[in-house]
Chains A and B, each alone.
Chain A
């Protein structure tokens, strides 16, 4: 039997007090990373009511149950405002999953190991970038397992989006009107290839000649017909003041060429409610934003794990909500015991339509979970909700050979424009037509997709 050592409201007061004092230290019962280093789990760092939705709601909600308009008010205080609106007013249904406590289910294992091994080896340079103590680019893992400032949360996010050396994602996207009618449907494929902080692929930790870069990020659209063969290549500088180099091939121009790179707040395709700036929630060079601050700390109910549907055809999620019943993915949510709520402002974008972004980071991994953007009038504008899971090959289910039997990755994104009520939702799938499949840490991905000649070759 576990004894509740703390009375009602203790944890809430604890978090409020910490935020009030500007303390970011994670862990309630014990320092989080001491516990993780010892056990690989976060369980001993939190009281039971932060590790179980049933305990948190005193039995009103249970794992395996459904969160809907009838019972969502019970957890209103730990949902982001968009998720609450969707469930309360739009018929979104969410399945409740148990809290994931094993850290290697919440982030890739090599990344977790590097986070522990490389702890304390970083410095923040005068230029605001992260360097090793001998002035080189970061060597891998999360340099800030115990962040002391909100900027460190965000920098961790920026340094490695997907937390793999490289990741290839096949994506299907559906964009709906307010009622949930699907008006746009796109297929695309991307690769995130990190040139520094490499943990699995040789050469490690840097690709020779690429130390001044952070990542290659090619993206290829494969459907519909007029977009087929549109491909882009972003090359990110390590210096987070600099904008990425941006090359593209479009079927209308039939050639590779450079494009302006500072269009961060535009829909890249008709119908999209998300902008380039939203990629992994902090999709711009970080030091082009500023006024970083922490505005909250505490539990959050969101899609941190258990979100993949690996036994379903092509991993496609069920849908729900809206007048058509097709507006939202039917996702799972779990209680995350501790999240940092950080804000930042677009200080280098004089005509940004945003006044700020608010991002919820899992305190255990600094993985961005969900985000709300605010317009210039300070009104809630958009939600970007991510889902995540540890992908484990199910017996008997279709699986692309050569893809590892187990890997951690994102599962879905809801990009909801709360002012127009339009929705863009997309998810990671096993494969899309054209022969492009999701994969992880494959050295051939660089030659296949990350060069200028690949950009031209993949163009149609």
Chain B
């Protein structure tokens, strides 16, 4: 009985989200059309409650609530769940504003969104490969539906089908890896595997293959090259709020698992996969950034840019130190705000001019200066220029690699420094395509003279994102401290 209560307490944020989703679904059945308009506000309330529970109830009680079967609970997971809840909340705001979307079965859409958020929170807390697999499938299936939500849109259908097929393929490979791991180690618990992996008598080659297969599944979720091809199509085809959501939230959840797998269960130096991971990181950032250059659609551009960002973030995993893990946490917070902020601006523009083509952003600064300035701020942050959150994230992650290099007798013999050099060069490339938008908005004359108005709620969304982007950029101390202490409590790279 006590165990059950403890489990419920530990899962209270997830439960809050799930209950909200069920309530929304039920309310959708009984409410009239005018009542349904308030459903998003209900969602926001539920998410706020979950955030409060997560941050103020679970966080202080982490040590006592931490011992749960199949679950892992620590400040580290609380941090990621905060990020996911904020991302879901901002997505609800975007949904409310997106023209042509908010009218279609709002209850279904919103409950799906909340279910997937709950799934991501479970994924973050998974201490067992079975839980990892189940949560990932749960998130995956909901995401396919969300991408294909506008049924009669051909592009949405195309994106959803590609997403589904590649997702199913990746899951199959991942499950195979998991079964190999179980066969090798006799356990599916991540914590337990960390204890067993160093012992003698394991076949290192087979272990490597198993971890590799497992990372395929995670690589798919994170859109690491070469498992990235679904992301641009899904983001272009899906409704803009969904595109914003799947470019941020599943990645945050996937990163939480990735850090624990490569930090706790299979430390990179023990399984000797740093080289392979470096190649993946290099390929991901270079490919993402280069492919973003020729894009003409803002959503596709942001999709490829998000592939590039995952490449940078992987450096923090490869560096295999606390600074890197903490840096990833800060990067995730920064990424949630700057990417969703950028998408909020995209929604504001597409509502008015009905287009997401970059060329149609011409003269936006004269049609709506605040939106143009805000979008420039988010783009600057995505490009990693100070004084924005994106810069702090990049600075920490790159710094972690340099710290790792410093600890070696010959810094140039390791991939660290080369990765950092590749990453900073990639940042220069990224400024080029981000500023193609700035170029259109500020340097080109507008095609139509009409203004582009935003609405109150949208200002709330962009305002929160912009304030957070700037605050984290100028006064990063609270976030850095929180991230560092969240990481310190893990058993990363310790044993």
Q: Check if A and B associate.
A: no
